[in-house]
Amino acid sequence: MSGAYWARRLLQTALILFIVVTLNFFLPRLTPGTPAGHLYNDPRLSPEAKQEILAQFGLDKPLHVQYAVYLGNLLRGELGTSFSYRRPVSEIILSRIPWTLVLTLSSFLVSVALGVALGAAAAWKRGGHLDTILLSASIVVSALPSFWIAMILTLILAFYWPVFPAYGMVSPHVPVGWNWAFIGSVARHAFLPVLSMCIGGIVGYGILVRNSMVEISGEDFVRTARAKGLSENAALYRHALRNAMLPLVTRIGMSLSGLVGGATVIETIFSWEGMGLLIVEASRSLDYPLMQGTMLIMAVITILANLCADLAYARLDPRVKLK
Amino acid sequence: MEKPLRSVVIAILCVGLLMVPVGAGVAGAAKAAGNLNLGVVADVKNLNPYMGYGSSETFVIGWVYDTLLGWDSNEGLVPGLADSWEIKDGGTSVEFKLNPNAKWHDGKPVTAEDVEFSFNFIREKRFPSFMAIIGNLAGAKAIDKHTVRVTFRSPSSNAVRFIATAPSILPKHIWSKIDDPRNYPNLDNPIGSGPCAVAERRDGQFITLKNLGNHYRSSLNVETITLRVLRDETMGIMALRRGDLDALLWSVDPAVAEEIDRNPKGYPNVKVAMAPSTSVRTLMFNLRRAPWNDVALRKAVSLAINQKELIDQVLLGYGSEQGPGLVVPSDLHYNKSLGPVPRDVAKAKAILDQAGYVDKNRDGIREDKNGKPMKLEILTGNLPTSINLAELLVYQIKQIGIDAYFTPLTAESLRNKEQAADFDAAVSSVSFSVPDMMFYYAHTSRGVINEGRVAGFNYGGYSSPEYDKLADAMLVEMNDQARIKLLRDMQARLAEAYYHVPLFSSNVLMLYRDDRFAGWTVEPDSCINNSTTYSNLVYKGGK
Amino acid sequence: MREIAGRLWRHPRGRVGIMITAAVIIIAIAAPWIAPYDPYDIGQRGPRRLPPGPGHPLGTDAQGKDILSKLIYGARVSLIVGITTGVCVTVLGALLGILAGYLGGFADTLIMRICDILFVVPGLPLMILLANYMGTKFYMIIVIFTMLGWAGVARMIRSQVLSLKSRDFVLASRSVGARPGHIMREHILVSVSPLLIVNGVLSAAGVMVAEAGLSFLGFGDPTAVSWGKMLYEAQSGHALLFGAWWWVIPPGLAIFITVFGFMMFGYALEEVLNPHIPRQSAYSKLRKGMARYAGIGKQAGIGRPGGGESVG
C-alpha cells in the first residue's frame, strides 16, 4: 500500500466527484417541465409575475450562472433549499437517512449473522440435509424479486393474519425517544420490510461462506493444521472460517454502498420514510435541490464505501499488492 | 456448530415475538375521546400561511388562522374575521369591519393594524402564491381599531373574493420581526386567531390541532383534530376500516367505493360520501392546426363521444354527463339551457359527409380535403385511468371514421407540449367555478404565442371577438346578477365552439365512519371536508 | 453447435433451463393464439375484479381484463426487454471492454473512468430522470438499461483481455504483423465469447427483474402489458384491501419462473462452453454469477434477484 497509490486514488476520486456533481446539476434540468410547477399553475399570473417567481428561486439566470452558484454553495456545504419542503435539503436528508439505516443495517446484520452461521453449518456436513436445503434455497431465492416477496408477506401477515403493521414506521402517539414503547413500535413496523430484504441476503451470505470454507478445506494449511494434531473442529474454525472472511469482507464492502439507497422499492411498498422514498418523491416532483442533494449524498457514500472496502481488503489479504 | 446456529435463530424469534405485544398495546392509544382522526396523503412540511400550499397544509393553516371572510357554496361570501364588508368607489376599494372579540392565541386582540400589515406584507415581500393578485392590490389602510380599507387598482369582483378568502391574517407583532419570511417554515407553535392551535406534530407522521374553545365565531365541537399522514392509500383505507381513522380526506378510487357499496358488511360503519366535483374533463382541440380548425369536424367528434360509457368504464359510474357549456350544475352561474348533448353517431357521420370528409377508398378511414387519411393524435397523461380513458376515446372516435390514437406523456411533458401549442388534441380539464377562469382559458390574449410559448391557459388558441368582449366586461362587473348573465352568454358561445369537448364530470368520493362522530355534511366539490361539517360534527362517544 | 446443445441437454440443470426458457419464449410468441382474450381489445373486457372462476381462470383486473391473458402477453415485454438489453449490454460492454483492455492507454483510462462514474451514481434516481426525459416506452427502457448496465460487463471483459494479451497465440499473431483490429476480432473476441454468451443470458435474467421493479414503481411503459406493471396495478389498485391475491401471485410467479429458467440455462451453458474450467460445484458458480450480474440490478438500485437489495 504505497502512498503513491493512495494519492492517485484520491485524485481519481476527486475527479469522479466533480463529474458527478456536474452531471447532478445538469441532468435534472434536461427533463421537460418547470420545477415548483405548482406556482405556475395559476392562470392569472402575468409574464412579469412568472419571471419574478423564477427569480425568487434563482431560476431566471442563465444556466452557467446557476451552475456557478450551485458549486459555490456546495463548497460551503450548503445543499440548497428544497422547492417542495421549503426547508434546507441537508436537514431533510439528515432526518431521513437514519430511518433507511434502520432497515438496511438491521437487514445487513441479520443477513451476515444468520448467513455465516448457516453457511458454516452447511459446510460442516457437506452434502448433508442443511447443505442441500441451502443449495436449493439459493437457486430459488436468487430468482425471486424482493418487492414481490414483500407484497406476499404483507398479504399474509398484515391482511389475512394481522400480526404486523403493513405500513409506516411507528404508531402515532408513541412518544418519540429512547423508550421501550418507541423502540418496540419501530421494531414491529420494521419486521416485514427487514424480512423481505434479508431473505435473499441470508441465503447469499450463507452460500458465500459455505463455498469459501468448502474450497479451502482441502488447502494445504488446513492439512497442515490437521497434521499438527488439531481436532477437525479447531481446524475448521480457526483456519477455514478465518480465511473465508476475505471474500465475505469483499462482499460486505460491495454491499456497503447500498446501505443508503438500496431499499427504495421496499420503502415505497411499506411507506417507510427513508432516503429511497425521498429520492422517488423528489424525482417525481422535479424538486431540483432535493434531487441534486440526494443523488450527491448517495454518490459520496458509495465512493466512501468503495474506498473503505478496498482498504479493508488490502489490510486483510497481505497477498494483494496494490500497484 | 449447529448449536450456535440454533441459538441464534431462537434468539431472533424470541425478540420478534416480544415485539408483538409491545406494539399491540401502543396502537390503542391513538383513539382518545373527542379526537377526530383524519387521514391525509399530503405531508405538512411548512406552516407559513403565505407559502404553504399542500392540501394538508392549507387545512391546518385554515384552522389556526382566520381570513377576512369565508365562502359558502350557497350564499357566497360570509363573515369571517370581518363581521361585514362594503364595496366602495365603484369596486376599487372594500371596507371591512372586524369582529371586536377576535384575539390572537397569545391573548393580544386582533386589530385593523394586523390586517393592514398582512396585506402590505404580501405586497412588499412578493410571496409567490399571491403573485397573481399583487399586481392589482394597491394597499390596505387601518381606518380605526376595527375598520380597514383595502384598495385595488382596477375593480374586479374576483379580486375581492380572493383577498377576502385566501390570505390568512397575520399578527403584526410577530411577523414584523421575522427576517426572511419566504423561507420561514413557521412550524413551531404558530400563533393565529383561528379556533385551533397546533398541539403536537411529528414530521411526516401526524399533526394534532387542539380546539381552544374560545373562538368568536367558530362552533367547532371537537376537542382535537389529528391529521395522520399516510403514504399509501390502501393502508389508509384499511386503517379506516379498523377504526383507527374517522375519515379520509382525499377522493378515493371509484373501485373502492364500488367495493364498499357492493359489500357493506365487510366495511362496518364505513360510509361513502359522494359529491359532484366542479371540474369537467374535456378533450381540448388545437384550433390553430388544420383540419381541427373546422368547427364541423369538432362537432362531429363531440357527437361521437359516449359520455355514459366513459363514466361507466373509467369512473365506474361515479360521475355525471356534462354539457358543452363546461360549467357544472352546482355553480351559481350555470346556464340551464346547456345540458348534456346525447350521443348521435349517425348525425356525426352525416356532418362529416356534408363537410367533405368522405372515405373514398373504403378503408374505413375518412380522407381530409387533401386526400390524406384523417388522423387524430390525442395527448394524455400516463396514469392507468388516463390510459383507460384514452383507449375508450380512441375506440369511440374510430367509429366515425377518424383514425384516432393516443400518446401517453408525463404530466410535465404534457404541459410542455400544450404550452408549445404542439398537439392535435389533448385530454384536459377545466374548472369554471371561479368565474374568472372563463376569461383565462378562452380569451384571445391568453392564447397568443410569445417566443414559442402560449401566453396563458388558452392552449388551443380559441379566439372570438364577441367572447372577448363578454369576458372583458365580466371581469369588472361588480353587480352579481349582471355578471351571471354575462357568464351564461359566454357559456353559450363556448358550447357552439366545441373547443373543449366535454367528457364527463367526476364525483368526489370520500370515506368516513359514522360510529364515533355524527354530523358529516356533503357539499359539492369539498364533499365532507367543508366548514359546515366541522360546525355540525358531534362526538357520539365510544372509544 | 449441435454438440453443445446435446451436452446442455444432458446436463441436469441445463435441461431444466432449456425447457423453461423455451416454454416461456414459445408462450410469448404464440400469445395471440394461446391467450383466451386479447387484453388490448376494449371489446373483450369482462366484469371487473372477478376472482378466479369459470371463463376467467385467474380472474380479472380492475378494468375487467383477463389476468391469464395479461400474464401470457406479459411474457412478451419481459422477454423483449430482458433479452434485447442482455444482448445490447453484452455487445456494448464487450466492445468497450476489449478496446480498453487491448488498446490500453488513453482509451483504457477514459473508458474505465466512465465505468467508475456509472458505478457511483445512484441508479434509480438516474433512471427515473432519464425516463422522464426520454419517455417510458419499452424501447426507451432498453436504451436506459443499456446505458447504465454496460459498465459491469466492460470491466469483466477488460480483465480477461488483460490476461489474454500476454498469451502465446496473441503474441504470435502480433509478431507476424497482424493488425490490432484483426487480433481483437479473431483472437480476443473468440476467446471471451463463451464468457459473453453466459453473461448475456444472466444479464437478461437480471434485467427482467430490474424492469419489473421499474414498472412496479410506475416508471414502466404505460401502455404495454408487463408483469411488473401487473404488480404495480395490484398495489395501486388496492389488491391488499380486496384480498385479491390473484393479482399479486401470478405475475410474481411468472417473473420468478422465467428468471429461474434463464439462470439455470446460463449456468449450464457456462459449464458446457468452458470445459477447461474444472467442473466446479454449482454453488461456487452461483456465488460468482450473483456477483457478475449484480451489476445490472445494482445499477437499477432496485436490487438483484434474490431479495436483499442492499445486502447479500
Q: Higher confidence at residue B131 or residue C92?
A: C92
In the DSSP assignment, the letter for residue C56 is B
Task: Please indicate whether, in this complex, the C-beta atoms of A184 and B183 are within 8 angstroms of each other.
Answer: no
CB of A285 less than 8 A from some CB of C: no
Spell out which residues of chain C touch residue B255, defining contact as CB-CB under 8 Å.
48-49, 62, 237-238
Q: Give the number of other Cβ atoms within 10 Å of residue A158's Cβ.
A: 19
Chain C: nearest CA to B387, how far in angstroms?
Answer: 7
Q: Is C214 in contact with C220 (CB distance < 8 Å)?
A: yes
Q: Which residue of A has its CA nearest to C132?
A: A31
**Residue contacts between A and C (CB atoms, under 8 Å):** 230
Q: Give the number of other Cβ atoms within 10 Å of residue B470's Cβ.
A: 22
pLDDT score of C283: 40
pLDDT score of C277: 46
| C-alpha neighbours within 13 Å on the C-beta side of residue A161 | 6
Query: Which of C132, C284, C303 is opposite residue A262, by nearest beta carbon?
Result: C303
Interface test with B, best of C41, C63, C127, C138 (most B CBs within 10 A): C63
CB of A211 less than 8 A from some CB of C: yes
Q: Which residue of C has its CA nearest to A213?
A: C284
Q: Which residue of A has its CA nearest to C133?
A: A31
Spell out which residues of chain A touch residue B235, defining contact as CB-CB under 8 Å.
166-168, 271
> What contacts A175, CB < 8 A, 6 or more positions away?
A181, A182
Q: How confident is the model at residue A36 (pLDDT cuts 50, 70, 90)?
A: low
Interface test with C, best of A9, A20, A101, A144 (most C CBs within 10 A): A144
pLDDT score of B418: 92
Share of chain A above pLDDT 90, in %: 0
Spell out which residues of chain C touch residue A144, defining contact as CB-CB under 8 Å.
252, 256, 305-307
Average pLDDT, chain A: 76
CB of C48 less than 8 A from some CB of B: yes
Q: Which residue of B has its CA nearest to C222?
A: B382
Q: Which residue of B has its CA nearest to C221?
A: B382
Q: Higher confidence at residue B24 or residue A250?
A: A250
Task: Please indicate whether, in this complex, the C-beta atoms of B128 and A181 are within 8 angstroms of each other.
Answer: no
Query: Which of C136, C233, C241 is opposite residue B238, by nearest beta carbon?
Result: C241
Query: Which of B45, B205, B231 is opposite residue A85, by nearest beta carbon?
Result: B45
Take residue A49 and report the three cell numbers written for it: 409575475
Interface of A with C in 160-189 (CB under 8 A): 160, 166
Residue B375 in 3-state DSSP?
Answer: strand
pLDDT score of C205: 87
Q: Is B322 in contact with B340 (CB distance < 8 Å)?
A: yes
pLDDT higher than threshold 50 for residue A92: yes
Q: Give the number of other Cβ atoms within 10 Å of residue A105's Cβ.
A: 15
Query: Which of A44, A56, A163 is opposite residue B132, by nearest beta carbon?
Result: A44
pLDDT higher than threshold 90 for residue A101: no
Angle between helices B480-497 and B295-304 (to 10 degrees): 90
**Beta-bridge partners for B405:** B377
pLDDT score of B24: 42
Task: Please indicate whether, in this complex, the C-beta atoms of B19 and A187 are within 8 angstroms of each other.
Answer: yes
pLDDT score of B69: 93
Q: In angstroms, rounded to a whole number, what is the distance separating the alpha carbons of residues C260 and C242?
A: 30
pLDDT, one tens digit for every residue, chain B (543 residues) = 344 455 555 655 655 555 444 444 333 334 456 889 999 988 888 899 988 778 899 999 999 999 999 988 778 889 999 999 999 888 889 999 999 999 999 999 999 999 999 999 999 888 888 887 888 889 899 999 999 999 999 888 888 888 999 899 999 999 999 888 888 888 888 999 999 999 988 877 789 999 998 898 888 888 899 998 887 788 788 889 888 899 999 999 999 999 999 889 989 999 999 999 999 999 999 999 989 999 999 999 999 999 999 999 999 999 999 999 999 998 889 999 999 999 999 999 999 999 988 888 888 889 888 888 999 999 999 888 999 999 999 999 999 999 999 999 888 788 888 989 999 999 999 999 888 899 999 999 999 998 888 888 999 999 999 999 999 999 888 888 999 999 999 999 999 999 999 999 999 999 999 999 999 999 988 999 988 899 888 888 765
Q: Is the peptide bond before B291 cis (omega within 30 degrees of 0)?
A: yes
- Strands B247-248 and B35-40, by their bridges, are parallel
* Mean pLDDT of all residues in C168-184: 74
> Considering Cα of B449, then B453, then B455, then B458, what sign does the dihedral take?
positive
CB of A306 less than 8 A from some CB of C: yes
CB of A112 less than 8 A from some CB of C: yes
pLDDT tens digits, one per residue of C206-259: 888 888 888 888 888 888 899 989 999 998 888 878 888 899 999 999 999 999
In the DSSP assignment, the letter for residue A160 is I
Q: Higher confidence at residue C286 or residue C3?
A: C3
Interface test with C, best of A111, A116, A146, A304 (most C CBs within 10 A): A146
Task: Please indicate whether, in this complex, the C-beta atoms of B231 and A277 are within 8 angstroms of each other.
Answer: yes
Q: Which residue of A has its CA nearest to B437?
A: A43
Q: In angstroms, rounded to a whole number, what is the distance separating the alpha carbons of residues B246 and B227?
A: 10
Spell out which residues of chain C touch residue A265, defining contact as CB-CB under 8 Å.
213, 216-217, 302-303, 309
CB of C132 less than 8 A from some CB of B: yes
Task: Please indicate whether, in this complex, the C-beta atoms of B384 and C48 are within 8 angstroms of each other.
Answer: no
CB of B359 less than 8 A from some CB of C: no
Task: Please indicate whether, in this complex, the C-beta atoms of A32 and C308 are within 8 angstroms of each other.
Answer: no
In the DSSP assignment, the letter for residue B88 is E
Chain A: nearest CA to C39, how far in angstroms?
Answer: 23
Buried b (16+ CB within 10 A) or exposed e, B319-340: bbbbbbbbbbebbebbbeebee
Task: Please indicate whether, in this complex, the C-beta atoms of A286 and B206 are within 8 angstroms of each other.
Answer: no
pLDDT higher than threshold 80 for residue C173: no
Take residue B515 and report the three cell numbers written for it: 360510529
Spell out which residues of chain B touch residue A49, defining contact as CB-CB under 8 Å.
131-132, 134-135
Interface test with B, best of C42, C44, C214, C231 (most B CBs within 10 A): C42
Q: Which residue of A has its CA nearest to B235?
A: A167
Task: Please indicate whether, in this complex, the C-beta atoms of A135 and C129 are within 8 angstroms of each other.
Answer: no
pLDDT score of A219: 58
Task: Please indicate whether, in this complex, the C-beta atoms of B126 and A52 are within 8 angstroms of each other.
Answer: yes
> Considering Cα of C223, then C226, then C227, then C228, what sign does the dihedral take?
negative
CB of B382 less than 8 A from some CB of C: yes
